[in-house]
């Protein structure tokens, strides 16, 4: 229970802060009041009065896109050690640094470690392909290189395999 609560707090905190334009909400900035009561437990009485003023409309910068999406969608990246695809929560320099849940790329173009090339997956089960189809080229051309275990830009693809590797890229 404690672990799921901590994970929820971390995920909520990892999303960006508000962006876009809008106005500030009404917030009490000034007021006055008085109260009286006793220190006895569950007893007391009081009264008060006060006032609040709305600050001038000030545009807010940053925030959610118009569609209301809190975080950008995560990429789905090949993990060589597990021979499966996982959501990538943070990446750069050819590698994913933090993997999430198992997933499948939207175009179903997945790396086949046995064939050492990308092929369309006709049946995906929890991030792994159980039935391979024809060769394909993943969108974005950031492909897994089995020679060094990192992702590189691919400058030329033939039959689902990269024939001209470029610089490291951020998968996902």
Q: Pairing between strand 117-125 and 142-145?
A: unpaired
Q: Cβ distance 136 to 119 under 8 Å?
A: yes
Report yes or no on 61 lying in a domain.
no
Q: How many residues does the chain have?
A: 172
Token pair recorded at residue 128: 């792994």
Report yes or no on 130 lying in a domain.
yes
Token pair recorded at residue 120: 């369309």
Query: Which residue stretches of the chain are H helix?
Result: 2-14
Query: What distance in Å separates the CA atoms of residue 12 and residue 75, rounded to the nearest whole number?
Result: 18
Query: What distance in Å separates the CA atoms of residue 92 and residue 4, rounded to the nearest whole number?
Result: 27
Q: What is the DSSP letter of 53?
A: -
Give residue 87's domain range.
Answer: 76-168
Report yes or no on 99 lying in a domain.
yes
Report yes or no on 9 lying in a domain.
no
pTM of the model: 0.60
Tens-digit pLDDT profile for the chain (172 aa)?
Answer: 454 444 444 444 454 444 444 444 444 444 454 545 544 555 555 565 656 565 566 555 555 555 666 677 789 999 999 999 999 999 999 999 999 999 999 999 999 999 999 999 999 999 999 999 999 999 888 999 999 999 999 999 999 999 999 999 999 8
Q: Cβ distance 60 to 144 under 8 Å?
A: no
Query: What distance in Å separates the CA atoms of residue 124 and residue 118, rounded to the nearest whole number?
Result: 14
Report yes or no on 58 lying in a domain.
no
Report yes or no on 147 lying in a domain.
yes
Q: How many domains does the chain have?
A: 1
Residue 16 has a pLDDT of 45
Report yes or no on 101 lying in a domain.
yes
Tokens 């792994």, located at residue: 128
Report yes or no on 68 lying in a domain.
no
């Amino acid at each position: 229970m404690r672990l799921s609560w901590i994970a929820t707090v971390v995920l909520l905190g990892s999303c960006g802060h508000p962006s876009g334009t809008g106005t500030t909400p009404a917030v009490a900035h000034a007021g006055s009041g008085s109260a009286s009561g006793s220190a006895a437990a569950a007893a007391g009485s009081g009264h008060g009065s006060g006032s609040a003023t709305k600050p001038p409309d000030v545009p807010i910068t940053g925030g959610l896109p118009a569609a209301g999406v809190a975080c950008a969608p995560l990429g789905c990246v090949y993990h060589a050690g597990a021979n499966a695809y996982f959501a990538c929560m943070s990446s750069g320099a050819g590698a994913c640094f933090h993997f999430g849940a198992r997933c499948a790329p939207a175009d179903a173009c997945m790396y086949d470690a046995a064939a050492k090339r990308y092929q369309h997956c006709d049946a995906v089960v929890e991030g792994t392909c159980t039935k391979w189809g024809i060769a394909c080229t993943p969108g974005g051309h950031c492909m897994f290189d089995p020679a060094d275990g990192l992702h590189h830009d691919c400058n030329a693809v033939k039959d689902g395999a990269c024939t001209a590797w470029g610089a490291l890229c951020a998968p996902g």
